Amino acid sequence: MVDPLGPNGSQPPAESHGPLRWLLVSLGSLLTGLAALGAFLPVLPTTPFLLLAGACFARSSPSFHRRLKRAPIFGAYVEQWERDRSIPSRAKRKAFGLIALTFGYSIWAVEAAGLRALLAVLGLALTAFLASRPTTAEPRASDPGSLPQRDPAEADGDPEADEAARD
């Protein structure tokens, strides 16, 4: 039997339908692409885009959500976030550095005092949120126990996903 409760005993997000579903799938796909770029570009963060993509897919496409969680590089991060709302130490350090660089530069480059203050408040709020999240060890893709495993009971009729699960 599938547990109707999501991570930490919360209700799973309701699946969207119609135009909202299409919008969330498109946004999730765009965010996944940005996360992939962020893995190679030092100024583009990976983790926030990845977590937002997971949230979009969780509300729009269980199939895409499962695919993201099974992805060899990104899946362990999404699974870890959904399981215990924690951030790996390496990702957290990178995020703190990027926040300092990007917000610091933006505050320096902007002339309007009100906008500078807004940027400072947003940067501090983001830093406080990250600092409040538990820090955990980096999930290892080479450790099979750290990767999400497909539950055969979750078959959704998606031939590609079902074939990949049998391999």
pLDDT in tens, 144-162: 444 444 344 444 444 444 4
* Domain shared by 149 and 72, yes or no: yes
Residue 108 CA neighbour count, 13 Å, CB half: 6
3-state secondary structure of 136: strand
* Domain shared by 69 and 82, yes or no: yes
The count of domains in the chain is 2
| Amino acid 76: pLDDT | 83
What single DSSP character describes residue 147?
S
88 residue type, one letter = P
| Amino acid 103: pLDDT | 87
| Amino acid 164: pLDDT | 43
3-state secondary structure of 105: helix
* Domain shared by 67 and 26, yes or no: yes
Q: Could you tell me where the beta strands, DSSP code E, fall in the chain?
A: 87-88, 135-136
Q: Answer yes or no: is 2 within a domain.
A: no
Residue 80 CA neighbour count, 13 Å, CB half: 24
Q: What is the pLDDT of residues 85-141, one digit of tens each?
A: 888 888 888 888 888 988 899 899 999 999 999 999 988 998 998 899 898 887 655
pTM tops 0.75, yes or no: no
Q: Residue 84 — very low, low, confident or very high, per pLDDT cuts 50/70/90?
A: confident
* Domain shared by 65 and 147, yes or no: yes
| Amino acid 130: pLDDT | 86
Q: Residue 45 — very low, low, confident or very high, per pLDDT cuts 50/70/90?
A: confident
What single DSSP character describes residue 3?
-
Residue 23's domain comprises 12-86+143-167
